[in-house]
Structure 1
Amino acid sequence: MGKAGTQEKTRTRRHANRLPAEKRISDILAAARQVFTERGYDDALISEIAERAGVVEGSIYRFFTNKRDLLVKVVEIWYEQMLEEDRAQFAAVKGTWNQIRFVVLQHLYSIRREPGLSRLVFQKLRSEPNYRETRLFQLNQSYTHRIIDIVRAAVASGEFRPDVSAGLVRDLIFGGVEHRTWAFLRNEGDFDPVALADDLANMIYRALAVADRVAPDQAELIARRLEDVADRLERVAAREAKA
């Protein structure tokens, strides 16, 4: 290594040492989010994260146990940000159908904005044996629980049938979203967040609502959307049959 390179590394080390710990942690997490999003987990290098954060590599291990620990912290912060943003907006949403659609649409937008982090959650973190014991699992439960609250409130008010399982509705919605966006996450397709949110909200509401609680104009809208969904499914089936 030349003299110039050595001097540069020395300046970087001194600069990093002068930074408050909170600032260094924040810079490391921001850099890690970029690298994990761009490279995935396996190809992400601690050395590149350190370089982007403007710290020496050893600084990362002062605050994080290993690369996995760093990824977990990045994803936890992402969930916390989404929960906070959604909480403020959700308070203004009125009506069961609108609330279901809001939750679905926000989830779809999060996948659209952060496909790299979404892949890491679905493929890497959620499949680990101790996932249900982690704080990330608890955050995900909070993130998805709003659907349970919406459904329970609709059941209590008589808008939804009394035999509805709120947990099953949550699983159907988030499982359905994951299935419908998987091609996008594999870079093999795309999806329309608004159209998909409308379709899911319509199907869920129509299936759960007590018949005489559905307004005529809403029933007509739901029927049209269901017909559109059926037509699209038929076209997909026809294409797959020809393949």
Structure 2
Amino acid sequence: MFAEKGFNAARISDVADAAGVADGTIYLYFKNKEDLLLSIFEEKMDLLLAGLREALDGVTEPLEQVRTFAHYHFRQVRDHRELAEVLQIELRLSNKFLKEYRPQKLWEYLSIFAEIVRVGQEQGVIRKDIDPFMAMWAFFGAMDEMAMQFILAKHRKFSLDAAAETVSSIFIRGLSIPEGRGQSLEEA
């Protein structure tokens, strides 16, 4: 309903009608639309976390984990486009989300990338001069923008598979230790 009408235009009665319940039933569980939206986000984050952990299970090479992460994330955006639209656009317009939400689940999801970088540094396959958290924010900035382009490209072709491959390739190349060099770009 939020994707169809937009968060601001959708009413609780619209949500109740779509769910086949009375308006009051919604209010038994949620104080308002923003609480409902936050609940959707939390539930989706639980599923994303579990799915990402499963996708990474058995992928032991950190640079391949980067690729797996990007493909998993974009597959979720593609397979759940309406939900992605709500989370990409509507959630950001929610004052309650911006002011009150403590992003524990989102942080867990993002931190998996920082941990991939840290482990890769320990294994000697990822440059040690890269801050894992800076790399995490850059990675998610790129993925966030690609997801937004996909959502905004309703009537034109936009390949999330190509986006996943491009983003992961850029990051793999940037994180990798250049052949014949030390643990950072400064070392020769």
TM-score over 0.5 for the pair: yes
Query: Which 4+ residue blocks in structure 1 deviate beyond 6 angstroms?
Result: none
CA distance in 2, matches of 1:160, 1:213: 14
Count of residues in correspondence between the two structures:
179
TM-fit CA distance, 1:196: 2.0
Task: Indicate the residue corresponding to 1:182 in structure 2.
Answer: 148
Task: Indicate the residue corresponding to 2:126 in structure 1.
Answer: 160
Q: Which amino acid aligns with 1:201?
A: S
Partner residue of 1:87 out of 45, 53, 67: 53
CA distance in 1, matches of 2:54, 2:99: 27
Task: Indicate the residue corresponding to 1:62 in structure 2.
Answer: 28
Relative to the length of structure 1, the TM-score reads 0.66
CA distance in 2, matches of 1:140, 1:132: 15
Per the alignment, do residues 124 and 50 of structure 1 end up closer, same or farther by CA in structure 2, a change over 3 Å counting?
closer
| 68-77 or 120-129, which deviates more | 120-129
Superposed, which structure 2 residues align to 1:116-195 within 5 Å? 116-126=82-92, 128=95, 131=98, 133-135=100-102, 137-186=103-152, 187=154, 189-195=156-162
Q: Cα deviations across residues 146-186 of structure 1 (Å, max 9, x unaligned)?
A: 11010000111111121111112112211112223323212
Q: Cα deviations across residues 79-124 of structure 1 (Å, max 9, x unaligned)?
A: 1111112222211222122200111111111221233332333333
Report whether the alignment pairs 1:51 with 2:17: yes
Relative CO higher for 1 or 2, CA cutoff 8 Å, sep ≥ 6?
2
When you count helix as a share of all residues, which structure comes out higher?
Answer: 1
Unaligned runs of at least 5 residues, structure 2: 182-188
Relative to the length of structure 2, the TM-score reads 0.83
TM-fit CA distance, 1:134: 1.9
**CA RMSD of superposed structures (Å):** 2.3
Unaligned runs of at least 5 residues, structure 1: 1-34, 215-243
| 204-213 or 89-98, which deviates more | 204-213
